[in-house]
Structure 1
């Protein structure tokens, strides 16, 4: 990544030593469009905890960033010292105060919501969804397999997981394009104003759907959280909004990102593609390795008290940015981290760690496995279209914006 320590027009808090300032633009650095993981690799040369004045979304000052996977794991496990409250900040964008639940809820309240929601996302629950997951994947593949080419992100990677979440929430599939547009503007909008407008539109939409489900509940997720009593009470509108917003945002981009990187790698590495064709039982291991190698989410935590973290003085109120794409290629965590190795032990942070381990991890894994199984078996010689441009991006969720694939028919 270019221009470390060269940004200007920023201020640094008095407790931050000058030698720990490192300007890293996770959103707009040109190197991210070529290979975001290669761009971030120099962060592991140190300092391993640094102040990044370019991350100003939370309080305008900047954030502490960490480059070590072990440091990130330590932070994610310690909710008393590193709070999740307002870590996403979507409600604040539109002047609201509800929290994305349970993502932005700290223990012990976090446990209350997880115990309520976990059964809905358990392996047993996901198994019941498998038929619709497979059917949706096949429907999309049928739309382009006889053509011999596709733009993979728009024709499969985005619509596949978003449709599954829409079905789970009980929302009409004919609104898919609107959901995709919201996701692009919310997570990848060029300005705060664009992101805030998308956040507001999503909020108003979900507010209306919650009201509808309260009046006339059906057999879907929103109806369930609106009508089910927990500890003798029903969830209020703010709690329902926080849960629905998390489910909505969680399905917008993370699986799509993983699919883009996964199939770009397969399309450019015929040896790995052939190995999985010859050994389909290794597909689950391949999915885990792709999740490790191409971890995509950036999140945040806020320091709750003055501390010394690995020799660095942090003050109460400081924010930390936790960039999984950086720690996914940590050479102290993974031997030859840039190499894809299907026999690697799985200890990645793609689904986070600790109390906030991703609620939707079982759905995400199943979607990635189904996509790999179906596409490889039906398009075994897929490759990147000659003379096409593969465009990746940074941001809250790293991903591939454009990927043209082709195959023999």
Structure 2
């Protein structure tokens, strides 16, 4: 995959339902707003200046959706599955002409709880603790490969290579396919070209189907082997259930930590005094990660109204979609003083980077451990890094991320 950032893409305006008041209509592209290529968080944070909830007709997936801009409303939607459904929110199976759910993401209770109970132990703190030595070894190896060079393109050298490599090992995915997987992930999640998205979705589906078949015949003890051998209520998982789990793990495991690392390291490159503080106070790194997760929350998800309802004075109808952009909650000025500032002394950081409620990210423990190891090892081994003068920093909206980040430092 090259280093070209996603081109701004403006979807066609969707149908505006009769129950949407004209004053609440505001077109906004989470992928295509011009400022998304510079700072997606600045672009979204300005939405706090408008209505508490607005109707966005520029939603490419659903044709239109409500967008709550306050953390209070976002938490309410995420924590009330009796009113708001996850069914079909990602829509990946539809891209390949099938109808399986991403599991457990696109399941509502009670089915959701059964699969979370099955999968949670795989990424719980005890399991993550066992992975820590290998994760640390991988981080050190990647850092040492560039440390003496005095610089690197961070996303290729570490930002993607580190978390994706960890996840591939966990899933039992062959590392020689790394470049292919990264390309598929980019096309599926970030391409504005529907044909390319569909082609990537089909390629991922076909690969995972073959992988599942191989692990059924020859289990190896990896996460994929666990999934194909798992049972719920004494019954083997169906082929669609296996696909739904593996597809979600694949798509989720290849992007979000890499995105967070890109924004974290860009911020620290632009704020060397915070690098110095963390070098001198390594015991503060984990707490600081929570503040940076708040400041750089990268995920956007969706929910669908199950019934007619009213939220914050806005009338919604059954079947209406709601777009939940985590950064809108994490940057809500009603909850945080100077929300756009990274305050390493901020108290009571209550961010939404890992969502909220029953669908709280089951990979959060592994993500936090990877971020912690990355910062501890970089700060211990690499002098103060900065953005290479004259080099472009390329970022994108959609699922927010960094495409290209050239760092430099004074080599020993």
TM-score (normalizing by structure 2)? 0.95
Is residue 16 of structure 2 the alignment partner of residue 27 of structure 1?
no
What is the aligned partner in structure 2 of residue 64 from structure 1?
A: 66
CA offset digits 1:204-232 (Å, max 9, x no partner)? 00000001111111111111111133321
What is the aligned partner in structure 2 of residue 254 from structure 1?
A: 256
**Pairwise CA RMSD:** 1.4
What is the aligned partner in structure 2 of residue 50 from structure 1?
A: 54
What is the aligned partner in structure 2 of residue 357 from structure 1?
A: 360
The alpha-carbon deviation at position 11 of structure 1 amounts to 3.4
SS of match in other structure, 2:112: helix
- For structure 1, the residue ranges without an aligned partner over 5 or more in a row are 1-5
Q: 1:10 to 1:212 in 2, by over 3 A?
A: closer
CA offset digits 1:227-277 (Å, max 9, x no partner)? 133321111111111111111111111001100010011111011111001
Q: 1:81 aligns with which of 80, 83, 88?
A: 83
Give me the whole-angstrom Cα distance separating, in 2, the residues matched to 1:305 and 1:56.
23
CA offset digits 1:302-326 (Å, max 9, x no partner)? 0000111111111100101111122
Give me the whole-angstrom Cα distance separating, in 2, the residues matched to 1:244 and 1:388.
37
- For structure 2, the residue ranges without an aligned partner over 5 or more in a row are 1-9
Q: 2:142 aligns with which of 120, 140, 143?
A: 140
The alpha-carbon deviation at position 8 of structure 1 amounts to 8.3
Give me the whole-angstrom Cα distance separating, in 2, the residues matched to 1:322 and 1:33.
20
Q: 1:223 to 1:271 in 2, by over 3 A?
A: same
Structural mapping, 1:358-397, within 5 Å = 358-395=361-398, 397=399
The alpha-carbon deviation at position 10 of structure 1 amounts to 4.8
Give me the whole-angstrom Cα distance separating, in 1, the residues matched to 2:235 and 2:45.
49
Give me the whole-angstrom Cα distance separating, in 1, the residues matched to 2:159 and 2:368.
14
TM-score (normalizing by structure 1)? 0.96
SS of match in other structure, 2:146: coil
SS of match in other structure, 2:55: strand
The question of whether the paired residues in 1 share the 8 Å contact of 2:13 and 2:57 is answered with no
Q: How many residues align?
A: 401
The alpha-carbon deviation at position 9 of structure 1 amounts to 5.6
The question of whether the paired residues in 2 share the 8 Å contact of 1:7 and 1:23 is answered with no
The question of whether the paired residues in 1 share the 8 Å contact of 2:12 and 2:60 is answered with no
Give me the whole-angstrom Cα distance separating, in 1, the residues matched to 2:153 and 2:318.
47
Give me the whole-angstrom Cα distance separating, in 1, the residues matched to 2:345 and 2:239.
46
Q: 2:182 aligns with which of 180, 183, 205?
A: 180
Q: 1:265 to 1:182 in 2, by over 3 A?
A: same
The alpha-carbon deviation at position 7 of structure 1 amounts to 9.9
The question of whether the paired residues in 1 share the 8 Å contact of 2:330 and 2:352 is answered with yes
The alpha-carbon deviation at position 179 of structure 1 amounts to 0.8
What is the aligned partner in structure 2 of residue 3 from structure 1?
A: none
What is the aligned partner in structure 1 of residue 7 from structure 2?
A: none
What is the aligned partner in structure 1 of residue 216 from structure 2?
A: 214
Give me the whole-angstrom Cα distance separating, in 2, the residues matched to 1:362 and 1:10.
38
The question of whether the paired residues in 2 share the 8 Å contact of 1:186 and 1:199 is answered with yes
- Greater mean alpha carbon deviation, residues 135-144 or residues 106-115: 135-144
The question of whether the paired residues in 1 share the 8 Å contact of 2:13 and 2:59 is answered with no
Give me the whole-angstrom Cα distance separating, in 2, the residues matched to 1:136 and 1:9.
45
Q: 1:44 to 1:135 in 2, by over 3 A?
A: same
Q: 1:304 aligns with which of 306, 315, 320?
A: 306
SS of match in other structure, 1:12: coil
SS of match in other structure, 1:405: strand
Structural mapping, 1:325-340, within 5 Å = 325-340=327-342
The question of whether the paired residues in 2 share the 8 Å contact of 1:34 and 1:392 is answered with yes
